Structure 1
Amino acid sequence: MSAVLWPVTARIFTALNVANGMDEHETAMRLMKVVEEAGEASAAYLGMTGQNPRKGTTHTAADVADELCDVIIAATVALHTFTPHPPAVLNAKLHAAARRLHADTSQVMH
């Protein structure tokens, strides 16, 4: 994972706290930001595939990748709101997902 991800998202988190506070409403807004960015990634994919015949192809794979990065950033900023140790929480979740994948694939092979 990028060495700058956590320090930069911590700075964004702190700046948001100063600007917007940390009340229940702000917590909801940070979660909704993740959903908004995911919607933009979906829209970019639809545009990349030319799914809307009226619009045609409007996006590239690079556009989709860019939007997915926005999802990751929004999610890591939001994660700071729910735990004092976001890197450790994500690391544990990532390793758990990898273990499940390994368990699932080894069961198929036996």
Structure 2
Amino acid sequence: MDDTTWSRVEKLRNWLDENADPGTAENVKLWRVLKIGEEFGEVAEAMHGATGANPRKGASHTWGDVHKELCDVIVTSMVALATCAPQDAEKLLDARLQHLVDRVMPS
């Protein structure tokens, strides 16, 4: 397998599948989608910390932390998409991205 973004996502998905708790197998799609919410919460926490918005905690994070957590949201979403649509994930994301570009930049 080549070393493209989607091949790396597939490696992560396969690793998760191989190491998943057998009790979660039936609901693997659900857990992978819900994981996006967990990762979003980590972005929100990092954002609060980077801006010092929580006076009790102060500047507890950096913008680098925000960037890392945003990447985690993207990767987690890609793994969830690859879990829900294993044969079509790359094509679905590409088509959706094109749709969004076309919507704001009609030809």
Match of 2:59 in 1: 57
TM-score by length of 1: 0.84
Large movers: runs of 4+ above 3 Å = 21-24
Task: Kindly state the Cα deviation for residue 24 of structure 1 after the two structures are TM-superposed.
Answer: 3.7
SS of residue in 2 equivalent to 1:29? helix
Equivalent residue pairs, number? 102
**What amino acid is aligned across from residue 91 of structure 2 in structure 1?**
A
Match of 2:99 among 93, 96, 99: 96
Which residues of structure 2 form unaligned runs of 5+? Answer: none
Q: How does 1:61-80 map to 2 (within 5 A)?
A: 61-80=63-82
Give structure 1 stretches of 5+ with no counterpart: none
Q: Percent identity?
A: 36
Q: Distance in 1 between matches of 2:4 and 2:62?
A: 26
* Cα RMSD after superposing both structures: 1.8
Give the 3-state SS of the residue equivalent to 2:83 in structure 1.
helix
TM-score normalised by the chain length of structure 2: 0.86
